């Protein structure tokens, strides 16, 4: 683990008065994740916790800020945000707050032994060849060893207040994703990122149209027009409304490309992922590619631009049929 990890531990950096950021390493993907400390009346609110890596120096990080951490807020249940929650809670003695829906999914995915099997079966249904499904399963399990979420957190509902910040329901990247908003400042989790765009994937036992959810979230954020947005990865977003519109445009284009990959012959989500993202992806990226292809395919179905078929043991998609809604 150690030599595959980019070590970017940094002392908390003040981004503006009362908002600090520190950055923890990840073994893959964007290679780092940002956590935030928000100053409150009774101490700091820590937002997100990185992976549950043994070497995360919580004592050192906490020693660098004045005053205690009063609470820990989790934006969403992905491993790089929730994985360190148990260790962070132990180091601070603080209560963990997590969205109610998000925690349900967190427990289902990271707290159960049969999730890897269920997701592997689901990949088979979507056309992933059996030996590749095994590979995808193993690549996903790499993270499971580093997820130490906090059991039974204090549940948060959309629009709840968290120490003066409002919890905004921002589904799409994860069904139960919550951002924090106060006075023009958005703590965005993985809702608004730059330069990368958040992954929007369809997963089993989740909401049926995550891209539709995400497009609504982007509209909400464009209307809210925060002054600044601090995300879980990459750079600070200085023009959040413009970034929300740019990401929405990116998905319009990807929807067109997804539709172009369909024709009269049924194609699986796995096949469409090759058309969209090429054929030479390592397993861990293929996982995301299949999930991302499926979120776009399901969005096209909702929009009447594709049809879902299959026989119950597999799911396939076709382009709009001649004489169908599109040609009416």
Backbone angles phi, psi at 72, to 5 degrees: -120, 125
| CB closer to Zn ion, 48 vs 271 | 48
Minimum separation from the CB atom of position 323 to Zn ion (A): 44
Minimum separation from the CB atom of position 120 to Zn ion (A): 23
In sequence order, which residues have a C-beta less than 8 Å from that of residue 135 and are 6 or more positions away? Answer: 283
219: helix, coil or strand? helix
In sequence order, which residues have a C-beta less than 8 Å from that of residue 249 and are 6 or more positions away? Answer: none
Under the binding rule (CB under 5 A), the answer on residue 232 touching Zn ion is yes
Minimum separation from the CB atom of position 78 to Zn ion (A): 5
| CB closer to Zn ion, 43 vs 140 | 140
Picking from 209, 311, 303, the residue whose alpha carbon sits closest to that of residue 268 is 311
Q: What is the DSSP string of 211-254?
A: HHHHHHHHHHHHHH--SEEEESSBS-BS-HHHHHHHHHHHHHHH
CA distance 158 to 181: 12
Contact region for Zn ion (CB under 5 A) — 15-23, 226-234, 245-253, 289-297? 226-234
Q: Is the peptide bond before 191 cis (omega within 30 degrees of 0)?
A: no
Q: According to CB under 5 A, which residues from 112 to 171 bind Zn ion? A: none
Under the binding rule (CB under 5 A), the answer on residue 102 touching Zn ion is no
Give the one residue of 48, 190, 209, 298 binding Zn ion; rule: CB under 5 A: 190
Minimum separation from the CB atom of position 144 to Zn ion (A): 16
Helices (H), ranges, 93-145: 100-110, 115-125, 130-144
> Using N-to-C axis directions, what is the helix angle for 269-277 and 240-260, rounded to 10°?
120
Contact region for Zn ion (CB under 5 A) — 62-70, 76-84, 129-137, 208-216? 76-84
Contact region for Zn ion (CB under 5 A) — 77-85, 201-209, 272-280, 315-323? 77-85
Residue 105 zone, left/alpha/beta (φ > 0; ψ -120 to 50; rest) = alpha
Which residue in the block uniquely carries the two structure tokens 């039974």?
Answer: 152
| CB closer to Zn ion, 99 vs 127 | 99
User: Six-digit token pair at 126?
Assistant: 């979507």
CA distance 140 to 292: 15
| CB closer to Zn ion, 233 vs 305 | 233
Give the one residue of 25, 47, 80, 261 binding Zn ion; rule: CB under 5 A: 80
CA distance 247 to 253: 10
Minimum separation from the CB atom of position 244 to Zn ion (A): 18
Minimum separation from the CB atom of position 232 to Zn ion (A): 4
| CB closer to Zn ion, 29 vs 158 | 29
| CB closer to Zn ion, 201 vs 320 | 201
| CB closer to Zn ion, 178 vs 297 | 178
The site that binds Zn ion (CB under 5 A) totals a number of residues, namely: 3
Q: 22 and 35 in contact (C-beta within 8 Å)?
A: yes
Contact region for Zn ion (CB under 5 A) — 39-47, 149-157, 187-195, 263-271? 187-195
CA distance 186 to 266: 42
| CB closer to Zn ion, 70 vs 87 | 87
Minimum separation from the CB atom of position 12 to Zn ion (A): 19
| Residues lying near Zn ion in the complex (CB under 5 A) | 80, 190, 232
């Amino acid at each position: 683990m150690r030599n595959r990890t980019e070590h970017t531990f940094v002392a908390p950096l003040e981004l503006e008065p009362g908002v600090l950021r520190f950055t923890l390493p990840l073994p893959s993907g964007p290679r780092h994740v940002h956590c935030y400390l928000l100053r409150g009346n009774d101490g700091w609110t820590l937002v997100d916790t990185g992976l549950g890596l043994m070497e995360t120096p919580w004592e050192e990080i906490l020693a660098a800020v004045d005053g205690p951490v009063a609470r820990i807020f989790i934006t969403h249940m992905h491993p790089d945000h929730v994985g360190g929650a148990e260790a962070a809670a132990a180091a601070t003695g603080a209560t963990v707050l997590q969205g109610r829906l998000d925690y349900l999914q967190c427990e289902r995915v990271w707290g159960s032994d049969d999730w890897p099997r269920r997701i592997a079966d689901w990949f088979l249904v979507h056309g992933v060849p059996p030996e590749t499904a095994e590979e995808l399963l193993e690549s996903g399990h790499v993270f499971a060893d580093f997820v130490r979420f906090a059991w039974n957190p204090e549940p948060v509902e959309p629009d709840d207040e968290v120490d003066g910040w409002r919890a905004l329901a921002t589904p799409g990247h994860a069904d139960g994703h919550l951002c924090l908003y106060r006075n023009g400042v958005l703590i965005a989790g993985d809702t608004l990122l730059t330069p990368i765009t958040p992954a929007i994937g369809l997963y089993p036992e989740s909401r049926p149209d995550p891209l539709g959810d995400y497009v609504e979230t982007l509209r909400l954020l464009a209307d809210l027009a925060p002054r600044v947005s601090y995300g879980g990865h990459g750079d600070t977003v200085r023009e959040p409304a413009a970034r929300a519109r740019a990401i929405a445009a990116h998905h319009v284009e990807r929807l067109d490309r997804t539709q172009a990959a369909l024709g009269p012959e049924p194609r699986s989500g796995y096949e469409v992922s090759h058309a969209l993202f090429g054929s030479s992806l390592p397993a861990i990226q293929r996982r995301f590619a299949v999930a991302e292809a499926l979120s776009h395919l399901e969005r096209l179905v909702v929009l009447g631009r594709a049809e879902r078929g299959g026989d119950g043991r597999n799911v396939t998609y076709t382009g709009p049929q001649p004489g169908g809604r599109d040609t009416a």
